[in-house]
């Protein structure tokens, strides 16, 4: 590495160390640290015989993960830790506290209420518990309720939209569509976003991760202003032009894309290419536990491998705040801290 490049990276990392951050693509159940998992297991009356390293193996993806479908298997264990109101509330609170310690000033935590009903809770009770935890932290945060791809999820997804409407502005900010994108195409779920629009519920859409540009085009047909991942847009130059034209924001999560074998090296992540093309992008963690990362590490990776400057770092954080599901007064207050 040339001296001037090395100096530039060092300057960016120094700036990053002091910079407040935001994370607008973070899955609650994918971000349960071993310490939080231990607490949740004790709340559930489970015998905790595993050390932190062993718990991490249950919570984190292995090296050499083959694809998104294998990656998603890591969400089964955390689902069992979020079955009571106290477990859900404590998890939301404790994840926020870990984010505060990382220097975040804003976060959007997303999860699927329908995945936490095994012990008899309703979606409403799950959301109410999550909101109780949300309010206990001083971190400015919002919840995004995920609808799920998969067989026979339609009614549960419609209920999730209704829950978002009922708690909109009271801690819930939007809905999302998550799950196995390659197995269950985005096009099969477009009617859900029509219902969200009818009820004035904002939304974002996972697309362009396990499936290609066509999935992003389907997501754009909903009118969404944000897309989760969206990185495979780079395979279609006309789609990149459309993202610029529409002003669509991509919620990029670099390490997660390596875990799911979308790319093999940080240098391949199309962050710089998309930025240079004029696409508005953000950097996020996706799943802190599953991917053994956090948003500060994600920024560090991009500094080291894509040569981000201090001004570009600030711009990326401001991008996240500009598209966050918050009111303008909150947005202005947060922006003033960057």
Enumerate the active-site residues: 209
Question: CA-to-CA distance for 141 and 147, rounded, in angstroms?
Answer: 20
Q: What are phi and psi of 94, to 5 degrees?
A: -70, -35
Instruction: Find the helix packing angle between 34-43 and 52-59, rounded to 10°.
Output: 90
Structure tokens at 37: 């998992």
The separation between CA 192 and the C-alpha centre of its own chain, rounded to angstroms, equals: 20
- Identify the burial level of 257 via C-beta atoms within 10 angstroms of its C-beta, where 0-12 means exposed, 13-18 middle and 19 or more buried: buried
Residue written as tokens 């206990």?
A: 136
Beta bridge partner(s), residue 111: 145
Structure tokens at 194: 């029509």
Q: What are phi and psi of 305, to 5 degrees?
A: -105, -15
Question: CA-to-CA distance for 169 and 198, rounded, in angstroms?
Answer: 17
Strand, coil or helix: 14: helix
Beta bridge partner(s), residue 280: 249
Whether 246 and 220 have beta carbons less than 8 Å apart is answered as yes
Answer positive or negative: Cα dihedral of 253, 255, 260, 266: positive
- Identify the burial level of 154 via C-beta atoms within 10 angstroms of its C-beta, where 0-12 means exposed, 13-18 middle and 19 or more buried: middle
242 CB contacts (<8 Å, ≥6 apart)?
217, 220, 248
């Amino acid at each position: 590495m040339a001296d001037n490049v090395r100096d530039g990276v060092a300057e960016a990392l120094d700036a990053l160390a002091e910079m407040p951050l935001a994370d607008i693509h973070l899955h609650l159940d994918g971000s349960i640290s071993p310490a939080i998992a231990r607490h949740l297991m004790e709340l559930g009356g489970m015998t905790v015989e595993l050390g932190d390293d062993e718990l991490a193996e249950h919570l984190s993806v292995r090296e050499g993960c083959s694809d998104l479908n294998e990656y998603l298997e890591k969400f089964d264990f955390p689902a069992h830790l979020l079955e009571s109101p106290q477990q859900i509330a404590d998890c939301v609170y404790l994840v926020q506290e870990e984010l505060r310690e990382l220097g975040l000033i804003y976060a959007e935590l997303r999860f699927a209420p329908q995945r936490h009903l095994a012990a008899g809770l309703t979606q409403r009770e799950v959301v109410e518990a999550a909101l109780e935890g949300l309010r206990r932290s001083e971190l400015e945060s919002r919840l995004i309720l995920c609808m799920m791809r998969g067989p026979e999820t339609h009614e549960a997804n419609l209920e999730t939209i209704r829950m978002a409407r009922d708690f909109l502005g009271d801690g819930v900010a939007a809905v999302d569509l998550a799950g196995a994108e390659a197995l269950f195409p985005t096009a099969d779920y477009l009617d859900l976003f029509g219902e969200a629009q009818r009820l004035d519920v904002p939304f974002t859409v996972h697309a362009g991760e396990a499936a290609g540009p066509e999935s992003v085009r389907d997501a754009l047909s909903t009118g969404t202003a944000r897309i989760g991942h969206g990185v495979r847009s780079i395979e279609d130059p006309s789609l990149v032009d459309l993202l610029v034209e529409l002003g669509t924001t991509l919620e990029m999560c670099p390490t997660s894309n390596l875990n799911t074998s979308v790319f093999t090296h940080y240098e391949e992540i199309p962050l710089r290419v998309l930025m240079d093309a004029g696409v508005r992008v953000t950097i996020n963690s996706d799943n802190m536990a599953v991917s053994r990362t956090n948003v500060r590490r994600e920024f560090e990776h991009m500094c080291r491998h894509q040569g981000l400057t201090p001004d570009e770092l600030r711009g990326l954080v401001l991008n996240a705040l500009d598209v966050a599901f918050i009111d303008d007064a909150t947005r202005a207050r947060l922006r003033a801290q960057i």
